[in-house]
Chain A
Amino acid sequence: MTREEILDELKKVIAPYTTNKEALADINEQTDLIKDLKINSANLVDIIIDAEAKYEIEIDYDSADKMMNVGTCIDVISEKLNLQK
Chain B
Amino acid sequence: MISTGNDIVCMSATDIPRTKQSKFYSRILSPSEQALCNQAANTFIPFEYYVWLLWSIKESAFKYLQRINPLLVFSPTKFVVIRLDIPAGFLMETFSGTSITQTGFDSAAVEGVIICAGHELSSRSMVYQDVMVSVVNNNEDFDNICWGIKLIDDINPETQSVEVRSFAMGAIRQHCDGKPIAISKNPDGIPLLSFDEGKTVLPISLSHHGAFVGFSFHLC
Interface residues of A (CB under 8 A from B): 19-20, 35, 38, 40-42, 45-46, 48-49, 61-62, 64-65
Contacts and interface: CB of A to CB of B under 8 A. Distances in A.
B156 interface: yes
Could you tell me the dominant secondary structure of chain A's interface residues? helix
A61 B209 contact: no
Contacts of A20: 157
Interface of B: 9, 13-15, 18, 23-24, 27-28, 52, 55, 59, 73-77, 156-158, 189, 208-209
Contact of A65 (B15, B73, B158): B73
A49 B24 contact: yes
Given A38-B157, A42-B209, A46-B15, 5 more contacts: A41-B59, A42-B55, A61-B27, A62-B75, A65-B74
A40 B76 CA distance: 15
A39 to B, nearest CB: 9
A46 B209 contact: no
A35 B188 CA distance: 12
B140 to A, nearest CB: 27
Contacts of A38: 157-158
A61 B156 contact: no
A62 B15 CA distance: 24
A42 B189 CA distance: 19
A68 B18 CA distance: 22
Nearest to B19: A45
B11 to A, nearest CB: 11
A40 B209 contact: yes
B13 A42 contact: yes
A65 B189 contact: no
